[in-house]
Amino acid sequence: MAVSLQFSRLSLRADGFITTSESRPGAFSSRRGRRTPSSVRCSGGAGDESGSLAVDSEFDSKVFRHNLTRSKNYNRRGFGHKEETLELMSQEYTSDIIKTLKENGNEYTWGNVNVKLAEAYGFCWGVERAVQIAYEARKQFPEEKIWLTNEIIHNPTVNKRLEDMQVENIPIEEGEKQFEVVNKGDVVILPAFGASVDEMLTLSDKNVQIVDTTCPWVSKVWTTVEKHKKGEYTSIIHGKYSHEETVATASFAGKYIIVKNMSEVGLGV
């Protein structure tokens, strides 16, 4: 999960280099006058694309998100099929090994191997919620075309199950998502990691049904970086540069820098 910190000043070393928004994964395009931030990327070496400092324009992402979440084509609470879909998920994703462990005080021995069940295991709350709402969407819209902007979560079993339910990922060609395949009346699911402001704008313009499964803890970080932007702070986003959650979080920020580890932190101070 991307984590945001705030700093009032940020100086960059001389080994930073300038890049345009078009060259960054998940960057904003200039279509329809949308914001086109410039950025300075901190490089740890050739081919490193992990850190970026972006300068925002006057676009108010908070107002846009506020209006979007109140539109008739937006849903983030499910469709009233929670118990039914949770039961289906329990049948599909409950392991016999876990069942045996739970029935035996969270500890069991198979042959000469003693296995203990961890206190925390399985889907976290945000992931379970995302998958459950995606299941609800398929039940609510049995005939409609349903798209995902990214994998709902990084779990091959879950992703294959959604594929079997004819929930398709928006195709990508040459690093760009092909949103032109999405038509008015289609359903588009935003994954647990969230989606960038630019993607939300595109979908809003297309007048599709948006099913938002973004983890509330992720959107809480978006609120934080929006506060940083108003206070003219620089947000420090800890995460992988091109990960969906990092891209989404950065799209709500004003000035920001992305770092993956402590060695990259040293490049930006």
Annotated catalytic residues are 245
- Residue 185 zone, left/alpha/beta (φ > 0; ψ -120 to 50; rest): left
Q: Which residues contact 221 (CB under 8 A, 6 or more apart)?
A: 1, 2, 3, 4, 249
The residue written with tokens 């910190």 in the block is 5
d(CA 258, CA 52) in angstroms, rounded, equals 5
Q: Which residues contact 172 (CB under 8 A, 6 or more apart)?
A: 178
Closest CA to 78 of 118, 113, 130: 130
The residue written with tokens 């647990």 in the block is 192
Q: 92, 132 in Cβ contact below 8 A?
A: no
Q: 211, 188 in Cβ contact below 8 A?
A: yes
Distance of CA 21 to the CA centre of its chain: 19
d(CA 170, CA 150) in angstroms, rounded, equals 7
Q: How far is CA 53 from CA 27, 214, 244, 245, 248, in A?
A: 12, 24, 17, 17, 15
d(CA 18, CA 185) in angstroms, rounded, equals 40
